[in-house]
Amino acid sequence: MDTQSFYKNLDSFREFNEFTTESHFKPLPDDWTILITDIKGSTKAVAAGKYKEVNTVGAATIVVARKGMGEADFPFVFGGDGATLLIPNKYLDSVLENLAALQKLSQTNQNLDLRIGLVSMKELTQAKQEVFVGKFEITPGRSIAILRGKGISYAEKLIKDESGKYLSKIETEKSPDLSGLSCRWNPIPSKKGKIFTILVSSKSDNTIYKSFLTELNKILPQGIEESNPTNVDLASYKSVGKLIAEERKLHPSLLSLSFLKRALEICYAVLVFKYHFPALIFDAKKYSQSMRSHSDFRKFDDVLRMVLDCSLEQIQAIKTYLEKKYAAGDLFYGTFETDCSLMTCFVDGLGQGEHIHFIDAENGGYTAAAIMMKKQMKQDQI
Mean pLDDT for the stretch of residues 37-66? 91
**What distance in Å separates the CA atoms of residue 335 and residue 340, rounded to the nearest whole number?**
15
pLDDT at residue 382 in the model: 61
* Res. 4 pLDDT band, cuts 50 70 90: confident
Structural domain contains residue 248: yes
Q: Which amino acid is at 25?
A: F
Angle between helices 206-219 and 312-327 (to 10 degrees): 150
pLDDT tens profile 168-199: 999 999 999 998 898 899 999 999 999 999 99
Task: Convert the pLDDT of each residue in 118-159 to its tens digit.
Answer: 999 999 999 999 999 999 999 999 999 999 999 999 999 999
pLDDT, position 183:
86
- Cα(86)–Cα(28) distance, integer angstroms: 9
Indicate the length of the chain as a whole number: 382
pTM across the whole model: 0.93
In angstroms, rounded to a whole number, what is the distance separating the alpha carbons of residues 332 and 190? 26
The structural domain count of the chain equals 1
Average pLDDT of the chain is: 93
Q: What is the mean pLDDT of residues 18-31?
A: 94
The predicted structure's pLDDT at residue 72: 86
Q: Is the pLDDT of residue 251 over 60?
A: yes
DSSP-derived pairing of the beta strands 82-88 and 26-27:
unpaired
Residues 271-298 have pLDDT tens digits of 999 999 998 888 889 999 999 999 999 9
In a domain, 147, yes or no: no
Phi, psi of 88 (to 5 degrees): -65, 140
Strand partners, 310: 194
Q: How many CA atoms lie within 13 A of 377 on its CB side?
A: 15
Residue 335 CA to residue 319 CA, distance in Å, equals 8
282 domain-assigned: yes
The contacts of residue 240 (CB under 8 Å, 6+ apart) are 266, 267, 270
Q: How far apart are CA 114 and CA 176, in angstroms?
A: 14
Per residue in 92-109, pLDDT (tens digit) is 999 999 999 999 999 999
Asked if residue 258 is part of any domain, the answer here is yes
Residue 250 phi/psi, 5-degree rounding, is -100, 10
Q: Is residue 353 part of a domain?
A: no
Residue 305 covered by a domain: no
At residue 330, what is the residue type?
A: D
What are the beta bridge partners of residue 120?
33
Average pLDDT over residues 18-39: 94
4 is a domain residue? no
- Confirm whether 71 is domain-assigned: no
Domain residues for 274?
236-289
* C-alpha 137, offset from chain centre: 15
